[in-house]
Structure 1
């Protein structure tokens, strides 16, 4: 075939047309890749794919889900969060993710109790949950709690100087109650002297630091509630029990006389030794403290002793370090440990009680698990101290457990079992010889052969 000006022009036109067509195809592919996204997880155990439990839960949530991450202008952190939430957005398109720089809204961060960079707040149907982990099990269980739409009532006993659930005073609990409201709980103060019985729809009864004696009839109402299998949160300050000794006896517990002294706070600038710090190593194994790593702070806490009982399954939850002690003397001047009258730590300041009861309901005998939590302090949930480190989170966990809201979805961790290639030393040697000697030699021979053939042509 002879090359002429005409064939040369045709060849150039063909090249130009092919180039234009290729450019158009590449442009269309780029546009399609932006408009439509398709991902395939080829890992052995699908570790980049949502579990079936998470997908089923998303299918049961018809309304939009708003996800707000309080993350600083850190592209690496934000990209990680965006990728994590993206796995959920793949299966539910109306999950909206937005980022807020916590440095730009300090008041909002303080009011919401944001404690770590990147913390996520998930909102669904006027309820919200905080998420501080990028693990699927943690996020999915937060969605599960939000998906439950039944009202759960918390009754706060009043009339004896207890901490008020609705008051904004420093020593009261309104900020904590507002957080619980966002999680689907409803609070109702009750005066025991004005009712015949504690309402049947009460999920949790709260006794928060009384300051005057209970009447005999009021104590009877509380005991009847306990005997009927009711759940209780008792926040007891150091000092008198105001006629609640019979309740402590019913629960097989005993409060120490005095207050706990903890000088560890001086390491972080807390000069008051009556403020007790509980760190990660001092939380005992329990559903409430599982995965909880924040320090909590307890101003003027009292120690609790668990007595022998065949009715209750008692477990300590919060303990102090062995550097603390229970001080029985008057708190003035320099406070020092006295072996004759004081008790050396570690001491229990929080515990749980459980038991199975057969309750008669609608002429039918049903089994019920009763749950009770007793804490030797109420200040840690007050408006003054709620925002300190993990206080708010711990208070929420206690309420979730008491309301039996700890039936978590179990998602086994997906282990990357296909990232290691096990090869014997013999095979490694053969691979090395092939790539270092045989393959280069073969390429050289092929090159020389092709060169000789071209010269002959």
Structure 2
């Protein structure tokens, strides 16, 4: 039993330490594993010592020396490898999501800072988050001459007052005489702080308002304040365009965003948008099922027809307690700059959407479907029954098919080229869903493509509080790195015990 106990202890210790390393924190699973390891190892050693006393005469001293020497050598090699790795800039990210692979957008934001940059991490002694945050800062700074300081809050009263530091694990980014405080230093938060420090606005973006469009001043889940901040972080000068009195789109507009009007837009506003696209302007249009605002007719005139029907995709699980299938979780993307970097393992989620049919209005127009459902999706015309908890069944007279949820178009008109990217859902970009999965990347890349700034198309860093569906990926991976390791651990232990007993036999 001593060898079985020792094996169990070593495996439990390895899995406990691995779980701690992967999660960056010690949860209940880690403590249980360390407890099992301690009990098993102590028990195994006691049994081994008792057995050793009985067989002392049979043990050769040379064998003991060889075992001790091999153990010492193994420990020395492990310590040496750890020291070499710690002193070098070579890093290996073995986390499932590549947590310590810095997003290209973060590197670009750092590169746009034209004055000396310094990171300072303020902490309270004993805060377990410091190790992970410092590693993140070091990874961002790799290859650059950026000082990274760590200072105790208690020993830095002047800095605490100057930067209004309210809690441990706060990072201050200094850029010349300017600075930004990041209270929750995820890569996404650091990226946004550096983008603000860059203060570089390449394009002017107008957001229409006044006929029930999404509110960029609303910070609730249903609002769109996060979208405005994201546009600013990506270098857009965001301005408001009242659609209720819109007579002409300003000449300095590089792109206009219309966030799903809930009321009928004025004919004058729709005509202004049409003239704007025809003279080479760019439009990002978000429409909603069950709403006819006039924007849908405008898109149809440009060849982007959207029947007023709700898309049902039966392969999608319920989202936020809604009926299964009515909120497509999408993983099919066409090859296009807007979808660059998006693959089948990088999903986007739509909160009840309508789809598009493409039909050119002029031969030279170039229309492209960018994001589409599974081949089992279908259109449901009419409202869903109130209180219904089961997804609608596909009628017998239709078949499932791919449906386009996001489309793009280019319209050559003389010396100019207008561009449109249309989304069949406006909730897709709300505060609740913008940072879910890869929604943010799709919207931002669409904006950059619309203004022909494809060099800024990239994948952005994800925040720690990412909303993921159907199960949050952060929670999923914590479960996998924790109790999810239990089954493979048991299999390793059982396999090892079986091997040991087969050798004894």
- For residues 277 and 409 of structure 1, the distance between their equivalents in structure 2, rounded to whole angstroms, comes to 24
1:287 to 337, 345, 370: 337
| SS of aligned partner of 2:232 | helix
Note if contact 1:263-1:324 (Cα within 8 Å) is conserved in structure 2.
yes
- For residues 450 and 285 of structure 2, the distance between their equivalents in structure 1, rounded to whole angstroms, comes to 12
* C-alpha distance after superposition, 1:401-426 (max 9, x if no partner): 2232212699xxxxxxxxxxxxxxxx
- For residues 187 and 57 of structure 1, the distance between their equivalents in structure 2, rounded to whole angstroms, comes to 18
| SS of aligned partner of 1:263 | coil
2:350 to 298, 323, 335: 298
- For residues 238 and 457 of structure 2, the distance between their equivalents in structure 1, rounded to whole angstroms, comes to 27
Note if contact 1:265-1:271 (Cα within 8 Å) is conserved in structure 2.
no
1:214 paired residue number: 265
What is the deviation of 1:119? Answer: 6.5
- For residues 159 and 83 of structure 1, the distance between their equivalents in structure 2, rounded to whole angstroms, comes to 45
- For residues 88 and 261 of structure 2, the distance between their equivalents in structure 1, rounded to whole angstroms, comes to 60
2:380 to 292, 306, 327: 327
What is the deviation of 1:124? Answer: 7.4
1:390 paired residue number: 438
CA 1:63 to 1:254, structure 2 compared with 1: closer, same or farther past 3 Å?
same
1:337 to 378, 383, 394: 394
1:10 paired residue number: none
CA 1:155 to 1:321, structure 2 compared with 1: closer, same or farther past 3 Å?
same
- For residues 108 and 299 of structure 2, the distance between their equivalents in structure 1, rounded to whole angstroms, comes to 44
- For residues 63 and 95 of structure 1, the distance between their equivalents in structure 2, rounded to whole angstroms, comes to 13
Q: Which runs of 5+ in 2 are unaligned?
A: 1-86, 90-106, 122-127, 151-167, 171-181, 459-505
The structure with more strand, counted as a fraction of residues: 1
What is the deviation of 1:377? Answer: 0.3
1:378 paired residue number: 426
What is the deviation of 1:393? Answer: 2.6
2:248 to 197, 210, 216: 197
- For residues 151 and 316 of structure 1, the distance between their equivalents in structure 2, rounded to whole angstroms, comes to 27
What is the deviation of 1:354? Answer: 1.6
* Residue 401 of structure 1 pairs with residue 449 of structure 2: yes
The number of residue pairs the alignment matches comes to 314
- For residues 409 and 242 of structure 1, the distance between their equivalents in structure 2, rounded to whole angstroms, comes to 31
1:418 paired residue number: none
What is the deviation of 1:299? Answer: 0.8
| SS of aligned partner of 1:344 | coil
* C-alpha distance after superposition, 1:48-67 (max 9, x if no partner): xxxxxxx9999985313467
CA 1:212 to 1:86, structure 2 compared with 1: closer, same or farther past 3 Å?
closer
2:407 to 351, 354, 366: 351
* Residue 188 of structure 1 pairs with residue 236 of structure 2: no
CA 1:344 to 1:263, structure 2 compared with 1: closer, same or farther past 3 Å?
closer
| SS of aligned partner of 2:338 | coil
1:64 paired residue number: 116
- For residues 211 and 231 of structure 1, the distance between their equivalents in structure 2, rounded to whole angstroms, comes to 22
What is the deviation of 1:239? Answer: 2.5
2:44 paired residue number: none
Q: TM-score, structure 2 length as denominator? A: 0.53
Instruction: Name which one, 1 or 2, has greater alpha-carbon Rg.
Output: 1
CA 1:241 to 1:66, structure 2 compared with 1: closer, same or farther past 3 Å?
farther
1:136 paired residue number: none
Q: TM-score, structure 1 length as denominator? A: 0.58
CA 1:182 to 1:60, structure 2 compared with 1: closer, same or farther past 3 Å?
closer
Aligned CA-pair RMSD:
4.1
CA 1:243 to 1:251, structure 2 compared with 1: closer, same or farther past 3 Å?
same
